Amino acid sequence: MFRHTTAIHKAVSERVGRVIVGKQEVTDLAVITLLCGGHMLIDDVPGTGKTMLAKTFAESLSLEFKRVQCVPDMLPSDLVGVNFFDMKNSDFRFIKGPVFTNILLADEINRAMPKTQSGLLECMEEHQVTVEGTTYMLNEPFMVIATQNPIETKGTFELPEAQLDRFLVKTSMGYPTHEEDIEILSRKLNKTFDSPEGALIGRDDIIAARKEVSRVYVHTDLLGYASTICEVTRREKSVLLGASPRAMIALVRVAQGFAAIEERDHVLPDDIKKAAVPVLAHRIIFQNNFLHRENLGVEFINKIIEAVPVPSERINFSHR
């Protein structure tokens, strides 16, 4: 049932593992995001491998890949494209921007001005670009992998709520363990970091895998479980903006992805628990007096997961 999903997950994991030590959870999320048709935000300090993971992930796929280094003076037209007057033909010609690709790496996205960031809203949601009244469809599949540095805030612009809500998941690389540090040093000194050669995964494989993920069964009680988690985020007094219906749908879709990469045809409560933090934490907006606390969204979602009753284990979640 999951022939294409398993092949993609295995191929990407092996290739990323040659360049990035550890970080299987981040790799899993990247694969799931691709197969759910979403976008991924990687938020962490410099030097943890954010850009390298995104590039290696893209290089594992037989898809077009483009990288954009976001800077404050970047314009929306630098992303989506611009109408150019062709003097030879005395007519305007549309020159496509870097969003016309399959995998777009927006490096340090929070260094782009809000006006430029807004240029990605239509791209990420409708997979299209509208310039001067004309709509151009993007290539399929289309996925944005964005990175940002949460520490260095000088010269950066915080992503607005609407932009954050467009990202299916948000994750971080985290520092390596002691053993992983040693492995990184060993590989670097011995020059054994392998660069992926040739792509293994094509467009047809991804389309087929997306259909496999969409067929993963979700029991009605688990739909209620996911709904309750999102509803609780909206009732807390400390919360200015809770999980939207889009976030609720994303929670179930990513849970389906976790089930699929484990070759399971049905979702379990643990799949929803694993999906909750990367899907919901970045979408929660708190009241002003709470904004200064780091990782508050993660702590908040974890507390909700502990508090919301889990559907009974006696239920046959695979029953249709």
| Sequential DSSP letters for 219-252 | -HHHHHHHHHHHHHHHH-TTEEE---HHHHHHHH
Q: What is the mean pLDDT of the chain?
A: 83
Quick one: pLDDT at residue 211?
A: 92
Tens of pLDDT, residue by residue over 104-118, are: 998 888 888 888 888
The percent of residues in the chain predicted with pLDDT above 90, rounded, is: 24
CATH superfamily for 3-190 is: P-loop containing nucleotide triphosphate hydrolases (3.40.50.300)
Residues of the chain with CATH 1.10.8.80: 216-307
Closest CA to 246 of 228, 258, 234, 230: 230
The arithmetic mean of pLDDT across residues 295-313, rounded, is 86
Residue whose tokens read 């010269």: 155
User: What does the alpha-carbon distance between residue 84 and residue 179 come to, in Å, rounded to a whole number?
Assistant: 54
Tens of pLDDT, residue by residue over 127-168, are: 888 887 788 888 888 999 998 877 766 667 788 787 888 899
User: What does the alpha-carbon distance between residue 194 and residue 306 come to, in Å, rounded to a whole number?
Assistant: 41
Bridge partner residues of 42 (DSSP): 147, 171
CB 177: neighbour CB atoms within 10 A? 11
Three-state SS sequence of 10-64: HHHHHHHHHHCCCCHHHHHHHHHHHHCCCCEEEECCCCCCHHHHHHHHHHCECCC
Bridge partner residues of 85 (DSSP): 92
Quick one: pLDDT at residue 215?
A: 92
CATH number of 216-307: 1.10.8.80
Residues of the chain with CATH 3.40.50.300: 3-190
pTM over 0.85: yes
Q: Alpha carbon 17 to chain centroid distance?
A: 19
For 47, counting Cβ atoms within 10 Å of its Cβ (0-12 exposed, 13-18 middle, 19+ buried), the class is exposed
